[in-house]
Amino acid sequence: MQAFDLKRMVLDEFPLEFLGEVVLRCVFTFIMVFIFLKMTGRRGVRQMSLFEVVIILTLGSAAGDVAFYEDVPMLPIVVVFFSVMALYRLSTLLMNRSDRMQNWLEGKPLVIIRDGVFDWDTMQKANITHDEFFMELRQERVEHLGQVRLAILEVNGAISVYFFEKERVKPGLPVMPADYVDMFEKADDNADYACSICSVIRTLQRGERCTCSRCGNTHWVRAFTNSPVT
């Protein structure tokens, strides 16, 4: 075999008419995927759980193969689709009957922020880092954690945020991108600081160094105190 052989890369030994077959195969897979999504009753990808993503990936792979591999016949794909559909229906049925089954298959909602700070136990158990959902929090118009009474990480990865009333907002860890906040090992003023990892708040004196009692981190960020946007 010769590398960078243009003829092989473009069409190889296939006759030009094979491209027509590819079009037909594409129409076929498109219709199959479309029927599948219609039958599941899903409206969009944002509400998909991890479990559903796995199913879509499996189908996507099968559909992709049949779309352009000349030696992949089309009928087995129909069987794949109906089998996966049957499994999907069965698991939905089981999940509706048993909460434990649902938690196991789909995961369960996790409380990640409680009373203005991260729920550290949850974050450690679930093996999640805050960077993953700072963006989601910003999109919910959160500026710092002190505004948040309760935040729940849903099974589809979205975050539900419940805000404190204006008078009850506490100092909190800013959720701005790292470039927009200054990190201190030594307090630069007498003020409230938030642990840059677990978000615990400490009042520090100018020049004071502090090791976080919750997570052992030594880097601190000036806590924000802004009220929520109304």
Give yes or no for residue 210 binding Zn ion (CB under 5 A).
no
Q: Of the listed pieces 21-29, 95-103, 166-174, 206-214, which binds Zn ion according to CB under 5 A?
A: 206-214
The residue among 163 and 193 lying less far from Zn ion, judged by its C-beta, is 193
Draw the binding track, 68-87, toward Zn ion (x: CB under 5 A; -: no contact): --------------------
Segment holding 166, helix H or strand E? none
Q: Using the rule CB under 5 A, which residue among 175, 198, 204, 223 binds Zn ion?
A: 198
| C-alpha span between 162 and 148 (Å, rounded) | 6
φ, ψ (nearest 5 deg) of residue 193: -125, 150
The CB-based long-range contact list for 131-138 (8 Å cut-off, 24+ gap) reads 133/159, 134/175, 134/176, 134/177, 137/161, 137/175, 138/175, 138/176
The residue among 70 and 131 lying less far from Zn ion, judged by its C-beta, is 131
Q: Of the listed pieces 23-31, 90-98, 176-184, 189-197, which binds Zn ion according to CB under 5 A?
A: 189-197
What residue spans of the chain are helical by DSSP H? Answer: 6-10, 18-40, 50-68, 75-97, 99-106, 120-125, 131-139
Q: How far is the CB of 182 from Zn ion (least distance, A)?
A: 17
| C-alpha span between 205 and 103 (Å, rounded) | 46
Give yes or no for residue 195 binding Zn ion (CB under 5 A).
yes
| C-alpha span between 91 and 85 (Å, rounded) | 10
As a whole number of angstroms, the longest Cα–Cα distance in the chain is 78
Q: How is residue 157 annotated by DSSP?
A: S
Q: How far is the CB of 194 from Zn ion (least distance, A)?
A: 9
Q: Using the rule CB under 5 A, which residue among 156, 217, 218, 227 binds Zn ion?
A: 217
Give yes or no for residue 56 binding Zn ion (CB under 5 A).
no
The residue among 59 and 137 lying less far from Zn ion, judged by its C-beta, is 137
Q: How far is the CB of 1 from Zn ion (least distance, A)?
A: 56
119 and 112 in contact (C-beta within 8 Å)?
Answer: yes
Q: How many residues bind Zn ion (CB under 5 A)?
A: 8
Residues that bind Zn ion (CB under 5 A): 195, 197-198, 200, 212, 214-215, 217
